[in-house]
Structure 1
Amino acid sequence: MKKVWVYLENGIFLEARSFGAEGTRTGEIVFNTSMTGYQEIVSDPSYAGQFITFTMPEIGNVGTNADDMESAGAYAKGIIVRNYQKRYSNFRAQSSLEDFLKRFDIMGITDIDTRFLTKVLREEGSMMMIASTEISDAGELKKILSQSPRIEEINYIKEVSTKKSYLHKSATYDAKEFCYKAPPKPKAKIIAIDFGVKRNILNNLTQAGLEVEVVPHNFKAEDLIEKYEKGEIDGVFLSNGPGDPLLLKDEHKEIKKLIDAKIPMFAICLGHQLLSISHGYPTFKLKFGHHGGNHPVKNVKTGRVEITAQNHNYNVPENIKEVAEVTHMNLFDNTIEGLKYKNSPIFSVQHHPEASPGPHESAYVFEEFAKAVVECKKNRSI
């Protein structure tokens, strides 16, 4: 393994070893507390522009495979692990994590104290960093980092979103019968706006009985409203995605038009934040964000606590309660995790119900969306 040098914007300078792509990269460093699922995490488009520090110390043990991809590519700047296991063992594995990272041009950094890094981020918050297999001088790395754009200044949506529309077809693996099963016959059709959508979100939408057409981020609201009025579509889904939602000015305007048209909508993560902004309530950045598969969220309506997967640095403000009812709360820091907008067929969640950490405690939201869409469809036909 080659040496790699890491410089954080707070002045910390570390030496480690590289096992992925080589070169010099800048990005935002965050930590993820998930115990499993490293391939799904790295292939989540929401991590575009970030270095992911895994708190799980052993990474690479089960290799990688095509079925566990959450998107067509992987967009993280790099991953940071305590111990990388080059020798993998799993009957589903097709390649090593090292080969996976090199294929998608992602840096891999190992032999580093991830506990120390996590404590730094916990105390000081997420920050920018630079990693290089070429430059060992801390002063030069500091200079390059200071001259590089910050993650909140970069629109990664253009990179991760689909370039053309397509119908999503899915099959779900039945672990009991060891086979894939086709989704049920659709009861309604929706448009999924791709800001960096995860494949399993689309799978869950189809499994809930919805026909899903995925469209690029630069959609035109007038087109969707016209299709809705003609009965060609019955609802809209706003996906997850990377970066600062306040940067997406064009998307705010188009979503506002969909809101005014009272089209049934459901949103996850970035989509949840965009709905808040489009209603006139700007988001704010959390200190170190929520990244992991063990975050307790309380369903305010039922009182049940759901174990959820999270991946976001931004959150909706408290005064959103002026136009929406809070449906879910994060029990770690009491931030808002779910909303149902007043006098509108629109709701959203901040966490990732498709990631199955509970494993299925939050999956009901897809069924609720399908039910709402079908109900609105029936009312419109009367």
Structure 2
Amino acid sequence: MTLKPVWIYLENGVFLEAKSFGFEGTKTGEIVFNTSMSGYQEILSDPSYAGQFIVFTMPEIGIVGTNDNDMESRTIHASGMFVRSLNLTPSNFRSQAGLSDFLKQHQSMGICDIDTRYLTKMIRDGGPRMMIASTEVSDVEVLKEMLRKSPRIEEVNYIEKVSTSESYRHTHGAWNAETQSYNASPKRLGKKILAVDLGIKRNILNELCEVGLDVEVVPHDFNGDEVIARYKKGEIHGLFLSNGPGDPLILKSEAQEVKKLIEAKVPIFAICLGHQLLSIAHGYPTYKLKFGQHGGNHPVKNMANHVVEITTQNHNYNVPDSICKIAKITHVNLFDNTIEGLEYNDSPIFSVQHHPEASSGPQESRYIFQEFANRL
């Protein structure tokens, strides 16, 4: 396979040339880095990465290929990926397609033969920034102007692009390594929840079903009054707010609907973007971290039992420390001491910033799904 050149321009003025192995064309996005050692397919297909280029710090990528069962959503939402060394020949019995073909199928860019350590250090020191990559345009001035005219990630409502347009029922549970399939008929508790799709990962839905919940997935533009009416009638027992992409402060209408649920004391559990949306709905705006937290090896301390859990993370935004006025901090990130979990005072609402479903990553926080089921 002959790799074509690709030219990259970042808003800080850095201009680079590398090799392209995925979708050919021109894309813009925000560049971030991910420290996971495995699971590149799950990361790429996580809707939370919409509008972003992912720099993988793991130098060897492509070894296990790709397969349909490891998709976290219907397609790749990330603009593209940076890898140091690309493996074009998969070595895994589950592989159905190589990484290059996978990226081309889902129209996402692949960029290799580039110093990912340099890119990671640049993001770590200066923060995520907008960039443009092109296999068509090599002139730095033209790329610079194209990037200048493109919308910034905080100006785009990516939720409208990644959320489901219609409600549906999710029915299968977690992945079973012995049967090489997802558990088809998990136990049922007789409790139903609505899962608001802000860019939800399939393995979050799998874990909710695995603990026995009946899960109905609804679009991002749900009606709070209708949810409250269903809750009062006993048709549903609670609500889940999912992960998702972009700046949470852009979700003004969703925050208003969530506020209605808070006032009605509907039981809520939220992860990542949903965690941030709860903070905003309570009147505590989120802020952007210096370079975000993306990876499958982040230590988080459980403040109730003082156990350290290794977690999967994927976010650029966080809730403010001032929220402790209305909520108890349940989890803390040991890398930077940011808030990782909250339980709201006098309210059946709790949330976490990290991903207890992992996929890929450690499953030490998986118990949180059972905790949600137990509270309903």
Aligned counterpart for 1:76 among listed residues 78, 82, 101: 78
Count of matched residue pairs: 373
Q: How does 1:95-244 map to 2 (within 5 A)?
A: 95-176=97-178, 180-181=182-183, 182-244=185-247
Per the TM alignment, residue 67 of structure 1 is displaced from its structure 2 partner at its CA by: 0.3
Is contact 1:45-1:198 (8 Å) kept? yes
Measure the CA separation in 2 of the matches of 1:176 and 1:305.
29
Which digits, 9 at most, give the CA deviation of each residue in 1:255-286, with x for residues without a partner?
Answer: 00010010000000000000000000000000
Is contact 1:25-1:130 (8 Å) kept? yes
Secondary structure of 1:354 counterpart = coil
Which digits, 9 at most, give the CA deviation of each residue in 1:119-147, with x for residues without a partner?
Answer: 00000000000000011111111111111
Which digits, 9 at most, give the CA deviation of each residue in 1:133-184, with x for residues without a partner?
Answer: 0111111111111111100000000000001000001143333566653211
How large is the Cα RMSD of the aligned pairs?
1.1
**Letter in structure 1 aligned against 2:261:** L
Measure the CA separation in 2 of the matches of 1:329 and 1:115.
28
Aligned counterpart for 2:9 among listed residues 7, 10, 30: 7
Measure the CA separation in 1 of the matches of 2:365 and 2:221.
29
- What is the percent sequence identity of the aligned residues? 65
Instruction: Tell me the residue number matched to 2:35.
Output: 33
Is contact 1:294-1:357 (8 Å) kept? no
Secondary structure of 1:355 counterpart = coil
Is contact 2:174-2:203 (8 Å) kept? no
Instruction: Tell me the residue number matched to 1:286.
Output: 289
Which digits, 9 at most, give the CA deviation of each residue in 1:327-348, with x for residues without a partner?
Answer: 0000000000000000000000
TM-score by length of 2: 0.97
**Letter in structure 2 aligned against 1:284:** Y
Which digits, 9 at most, give the CA deviation of each residue in 1:314-361, with x for residues without a partner?
Answer: 000000001100000000000000000000000000000001666321
Q: How does 1:248-259 map to 2 (within 5 A)?
A: 248-259=251-262
Secondary structure of 2:357 counterpart = helix
Is contact 1:308-1:356 (8 Å) kept? no
Is contact 2:46-2:72 (8 Å) kept? yes
Is contact 1:64-1:97 (8 Å) kept? yes
**Letter in structure 2 aligned against 1:202:** L
Measure the CA separation in 2 of the matches of 1:179 and 1:147.
46
Deviates more, 1:330-339 or 1:135-144: 135-144
Which digits, 9 at most, give the CA deviation of each residue in 1:184-237, with x for residues without a partner?
Answer: 123300000000000000000011110000000000001100100110000000
Q: How does 1:319-358 map to 2 (within 5 A)?
A: 319-355=322-358
Measure the CA separation in 2 of the matches of 1:344 and 1:85.
50
Measure the CA separation in 1 of the matches of 2:206 and 2:54.
25
Measure the CA separation in 1 of the matches of 2:52 and 2:139.
22
Measure the CA separation in 2 of the matches of 1:179 and 1:103.
23
Measure the CA separation in 2 of the matches of 1:268 and 1:297.
15
What are structure 1's unaligned runs of at least 5 residues? 374-382
Which digits, 9 at most, give the CA deviation of each residue in 1:4-61, with x for residues without a partner?
Answer: 0001111110000100001111100000000000000000000000000000011111
**Letter in structure 1 aligned against 2:30:** E
Distance 1:73 1:180, change over 3 A: closer
Measure the CA separation in 2 of the matches of 1:95 and 1:358.
22
Instruction: Tell me the residue number matched to 2:19.
Output: 17
What are structure 2's unaligned runs of at least 5 residues? none
Measure the CA separation in 2 of the matches of 1:103 and 1:357.
22
Measure the CA separation in 1 of the matches of 2:367 and 2:46.
22
**Letter in structure 2 aligned against 1:168:** H
